């Protein structure tokens, strides 16, 4: 595709429900990053992928959060038993290298609201 | 984890003035990037500077890097109302780590 695509754009869910957020990176990009951004705050690193592997999961806030990537393409971030503090914009980015050697391209994010 | 810290947190200027934002980081880096974010959604890449570079220009943007002070600055000259946005620096974390981490950002407001 032309850019990084995230879906859904907005998601409202009830506390305790599970949600899946999807990211379609730019074709051929080996690195994929997930970030969380609370209102008015900076980007909080969650996880990144090299191909289909996630060498660093240290940013995941709790064991309710998990992510996978398949086919060195689409990635899914799953939040189980959502809590109100999970409300945020979840941003995905892809790059043709990792560690900041080349620019990262961002999707428009998924705004998650837990009620 | 956050590697870069921008300051000021917020900056308000008049159209035509220059805007300077700073980023400090904690450990050695290979690269430093600056991004812009409008309306709290996707970020747009502005400029990348390597650790062996000291200055880089792109249009009205000028970025400097001082690795001895572990800091970088972004200068926007002749600002326009359309430059109103949040600006973030991003680096590889913890001396060559493969993840890309961002600071908390500077919110710039350019008044017409």
Closest CB to B40: pick one of A33, A89, A99.
A89
Gap from A107 CA to chain B (nearest CA, Å): 5
Answer whether A56 sits within 8 Å of B97, measured CB to CB. Answer: yes
Helix or strand (DSSP H, E) at A47: strand A44-50
Give start and end residues of each alpha helix (H) in chain A: none
Residue B1: band (very low, low, confident or very high) from pLDDT cuts 50, 70, 90: very low
The whole-chain average pLDDT of chain B stands at: 90
Q: How far apart are CA A32 and CA B58, in angstroms?
A: 26
Q: Block means of pLDDT (10 residues each) for chain A, length 115 residues?
A: 90 98 96 93 92 90 96 96 97 87 93 98
Gap from B78 CA to chain A (nearest CA, Å): 25
How many residues are there in chain B?
A: 112
Q: Strand B10-14 to strand A31-37: parallel, antiparallel, or no bridges (unpaired)?
A: unpaired
- Residue-level pLDDT at A57: 85
Give the burial class of B97: count Cβ atoms within 10 A of its Cβ; 0-12 exposed, 13-18 middle, 19 or more buried: buried
Closest CB to A100: pick one of B30, B40, B88.
B30
Residues of B with CB under 8 A from a CB of A: 1-2, 29-33, 35, 40-45, 48, 88, 90-93, 96-105
A49 touches chain B (CB under 8 A): no
Q: How far apart are CA A104 and CA A94, in angstroms?
A: 5
Of all residues in chain B, the percent with pLDDT exceeding 70 is: 92
Average pLDDT of the segment spanning B91-103: 75
**pLDDT: which is higher, B48 or B92:** B48
What is the maximum alpha-carbon separation in chain A? 40
Q: Is A67 in contact with A82 (CB distance < 8 Å)?
A: no
Q: Which two tokens stand for residue B38?
A: 């409008």
- 3-class DSSP state of A39: coil
Contacts A56 to B, Cβ<8 Å: 97-99
Paired with A53 in beta bridges are A50
Shortest CA distance to B60 belongs to which of B82, B41, B43?
Answer: B82
């Amino acid at each position: 595709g032309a850019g990084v695509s995230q879906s859904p754009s907005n998601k409202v869910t009830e506390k305790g429900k599970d949600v899946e957020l999807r990211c379609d990176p730019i074709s051929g990009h080996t690195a994929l990053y997930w970030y969380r951004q609370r209102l008015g705050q900076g980007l909080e690193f969650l996880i990144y992928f090299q191909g289909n592997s996630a060498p660093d999961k240290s940013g995941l806030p709790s064991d309710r959060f998990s992510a996978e990537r398949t086919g060195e393409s689409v990635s899914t971030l799953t939040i189980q038993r959502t809590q109100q503090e999970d409300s945020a914009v979840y941003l995905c980015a892809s790059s043709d290298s990792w560690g900041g050697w080349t620019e990262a391209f961002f999707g428009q994010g998924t705004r998650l609201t837990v009620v | 984890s956050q590697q870069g810290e921008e300051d000021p947190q917020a900056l308000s200027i008049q159209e035509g003035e220059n805007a300077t934002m700073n980023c400090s980081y904690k450990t050695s880096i290979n690269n430093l990037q600056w991004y812009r974010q409008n309306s709290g959604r996707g970020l747009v890449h502005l400029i990348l500077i390597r650790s062996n570079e000291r200055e880089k220009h792109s249009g009205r943007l000028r970025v400097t890097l001082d690795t001895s002070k572990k800091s970088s600055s972004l200068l926007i000259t002749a600002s326009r109302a359309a430059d109103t946005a949040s600006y973030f620096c991003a680096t590889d974390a913890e001396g060559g780590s493969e993840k890309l981490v961002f600071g908390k950002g500077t919110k710039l407001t350019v008044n017409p």
